């Protein structure tokens, strides 16, 4: 007997995030989801079913997003204790989505006369989870952190289902697999086996379909003089950011860790927000408080060989009509070459609400909530995913920090890149945030069939191949430099061609199968 269902839902929610990085105890997530399905199935009415899903969600998201509190430790305008309230308040909202999934599953998949969960109910729950996780990723600018699919990354084969169906559908298949465990618990062996086999089968197909490599064969040894990737991690966090020597200390460390050029051309990638000088020309003279933009670019160029390129993440400002006062900022990636000139720029498009801009500023600023935003002005979004042409290194896509977590939104479909550069600043996010962020970047690599270069100030910086495997990484809390050959991309995956249409196709297939089985049962 499952007595005290709300308490059990709370416990299941508290345990389930252990399935994600950094703990990677994925069987606990599967067991927690199976318990959630059982509790919702036994709910006496729709309201109770949704309440069980909501309690699970509050606990699940509170533990999984605990790293957000750490960001308040570096916010001088707000006391750090408010970070704990921020995590809970966010979770109260995010829990609406598992509540909706639970309600839909109870309403559409549960037979009034069924005492044990059946395959119809499990299929309905899995389909509902796909839709609600997709909604969580899109509504109110979206927050798709820690999709269920991310828990599979330590497991062989299974994560490669994302190359076919994408992250949100893989999350629904995770619910389906947990439902198979529940069916097996009730000794419904045939539907349990039929349900459980779907996920590993799709993973196997995804693994086989992702073996085609663009431009090179997978076992080729790079020829002498082949382009190299240089990933720099200075291990300088937010501490001391207001010190007068902070900009120069960071900049000098980046230059030193970049190293000297050799025979092979190098693509050098630096973390987000580490260049605290203006890189673009055109600002008023008194804005250049420690050297002009030309001087900054010359210092970068002096560290580069004739065939090298540096991708640098920095901040560029826009101006008001008077040409002097800033009206907004862009979180940008610049391409600097050995001639000391700019050869490309990307502006971050998917900004973090309350971190990079204040929503409804006219309403919220008088309430004092502008203190949540780091500066006096808002960041302004760029047009969306773009591909930068970097001669000698191919086409490079850029996704700054948080943008990499949005499935199906990281690549310009009209100009597919060869690699994605993901500069980030994870120094804000304690010990849980960085490995979770890395895991979601790995999912993007699998989905798109593209390698990803991650550069962060304090870790985890990494080179991820097109299979989603971490080729080499610098751990948290250590300075270092990665020097390796440029990973090769795969041919476009099924998901990269169709995007999140696949999520709706899988959800529709699950729902149609459930309806057909229910009618046959009658």
Closest CA to 455 of 250, 230, 271: 271
> What pLDDT sits at residue 440?
97
Q: Is the pLDDT of residue 77 over 70?
A: no
Question: In which band, very low, low, confident or very high, does the pLDDT at 322 lie, cut at 50, 70 and 90?
Answer: low
The encoded tokens of residue 126 equal 């899995």
Q: What separation in angstroms does the CA of 415 have from each of 9, 142, 331, 395, 467?
A: 46, 25, 22, 8, 21
> What pLDDT sits at residue 285?
65
Neighbours of 412 (CB within 10 A): 14
3-state secondary structure of 46: helix
> What pLDDT sits at residue 316?
66
Per-residue pLDDT tens for 26-60?
A: 999 999 999 999 999 999 999 999 999 999 999 99
Q: Is the pLDDT of residue 241 over 60?
A: yes
> What pLDDT sits at residue 428?
79
> What pLDDT sits at residue 137?
94
User: 93 Cβ partners below 8 Å, 6+ apart?
Assistant: none
Average pLDDT score over the chain: 86
Q: What percent of the chain has pLDDT over 70?
A: 86
Q: What is the pLDDT averaged over residues 387-410?
A: 93
User: 148 Cβ partners below 8 Å, 6+ apart?
Assistant: 29, 33, 129, 133, 170, 171, 174, 175
Q: Is the pLDDT of residue 356 over 60?
A: yes
Per-residue pLDDT tens for 326-337?
A: 667 788 899 999
Kindly report the CA angle at 477 between 472 and 479, in degrees rounded to 5?
65
| Residue carrying structure tokens 């870790």 | 459
Alpha-carbon span 45 to 236, nearest angstrom: 53
What order of strands is seen across the sheet that includes strand 452-455? Answer: 387-390, 394-398, 419-423, 452-455, 461-464, 470-474
> What pLDDT sits at residue 516?
87
Neighbours of 343 (CB within 10 A): 15
Domain 228-349+384-492 classification at class level: alpha beta
Q: Is the pTM of this model over 0.85?
A: yes
Q: Is the pLDDT of residue 372 over 80?
A: no
Question: In which band, very low, low, confident or very high, does the pLDDT at 220 lie, cut at 50, 70 and 90?
Answer: very low
Q: What is the pLDDT averaged over residues 217-241?
A: 74
Whether 300 contacts 308, CB under 8 Å? no
Closest CA to 236 of 37, 476, 469, 449: 476
In the chain, residues under CATH classification 3.60.110.10 are 228-349+384-492
Between 434 and 318, residue with greater pLDDT: 434
Between 312 and 128, residue with greater pLDDT: 128
Phi-psi region of 176 (alpha: psi -120 to 50; beta: other; left: phi over 0): alpha
Q: What is the pLDDT averaged over residues 122-138?
A: 96
Alpha-carbon span 35 to 508, nearest angstrom: 25
> What pLDDT sits at residue 368?
45
> What pLDDT sits at residue 363?
46
Q: Is the pLDDT of residue 367 over 80?
A: no
> What pLDDT sits at residue 365?
47
């Amino acid at each position: 007997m499952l007595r005290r269902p709300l308490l059990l839902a709370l416990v299941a929610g508290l345990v389930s995030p252990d399935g994600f990085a950094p703990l990677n105890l994925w069987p606990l997530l599967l067991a927690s989801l199976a318990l959630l399905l059982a509790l919702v199935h036994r709910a006496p009415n729709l309201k109770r079913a949704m309440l069980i899903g909501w309690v699970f969600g509050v606990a699940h998201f509170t533990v999984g997003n605990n790293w957000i509190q750490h960001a308040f430790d570096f916010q001088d305008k707000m006391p750090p204790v408010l970070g704990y309230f921020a995590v809970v308040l966010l979770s109260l909202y995010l829990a609406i989505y598992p509540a909706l999934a639970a309600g839909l599953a109870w309403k559409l998949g549960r037979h009034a006369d069924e005492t044990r969960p059946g395959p119809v109910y499990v299929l309905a729950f899995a389909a509902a989870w796909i839709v609600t996780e997709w909604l969580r990723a899109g509504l109110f600018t979206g927050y798709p952190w820690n999709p269920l699919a991310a828990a599979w990354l330590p497991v062989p084969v299974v994560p490669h289902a994302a190359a076919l169906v994408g992250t949100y559908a893989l999350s629904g298949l995770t619910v389906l697999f947990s439902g198979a465990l529940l069916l097996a618990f009730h000794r419904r062996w045939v539907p349990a086996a039929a349900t459980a086999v779907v996920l590993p089968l799709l993973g196997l197909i995804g693994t086989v379909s992702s073996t085609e490599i663009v431009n090179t064969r997978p076992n080729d040894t790079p020829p002498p003089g082949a382009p190299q990737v240089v990933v720099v991690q200075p291990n300088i966090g937010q501490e001391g950011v207001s010190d007068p020597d902070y900009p120069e200390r960071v900049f000098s460390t980046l230059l030193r860790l970049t190293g000297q050029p050799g025979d092979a051309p190098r693509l050098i990638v630096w973390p987000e927000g580490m260049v605290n000088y203006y890189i673009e020309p055109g600002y008023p003279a008194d804005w250049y408080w420690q050297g002009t933009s030309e001087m900054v670019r010359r210092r970068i160029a002096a560290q580069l060989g004739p065939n090298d390129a540096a991708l640098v993440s920095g901040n560029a400002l826009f101006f008001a009509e008077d040409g002097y006062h800033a009206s907004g900022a862009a979180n940008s990636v610049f391409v600097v070459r050995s001639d000391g000139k700019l050869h490309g720029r990307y502006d971050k498009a998917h900004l973090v609400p309350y971190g990079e801009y204040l929503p409804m500023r006219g309403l919220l600023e008088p309430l004092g909530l502008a203190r949540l935003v780091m500066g006096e002005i808002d960041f302004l979004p760029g047009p969306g995913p773009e591909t930068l042409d970097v001669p000698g290194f191919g086409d490079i896509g850029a996704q700054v920090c948080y943008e990499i977590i949005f499935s199906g939104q990281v690549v310009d479909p009209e100009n597919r890149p060869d690699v994605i550069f993901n500069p980030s600043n994870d120094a804000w996010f304690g010990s849980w945030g960085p490995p979770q962020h890395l895991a979601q970047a790995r999912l993007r690599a699998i989905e798109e069939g593209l390698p990803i270069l991650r550069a962060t100030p304090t870790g985890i910086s990494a080179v991820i191949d097109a299979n989603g495997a971490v080729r080499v990484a610098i751990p948290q809390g250590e300075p270092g430099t990665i020097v390796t050959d440029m990973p090769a991309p795969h041919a476009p995956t099924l998901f990269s061609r169709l995007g999140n249409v696949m999520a709706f196709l899988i959800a529709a297939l699950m729902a149609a199968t459930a309806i057909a089985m229910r009618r046959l049962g009658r």
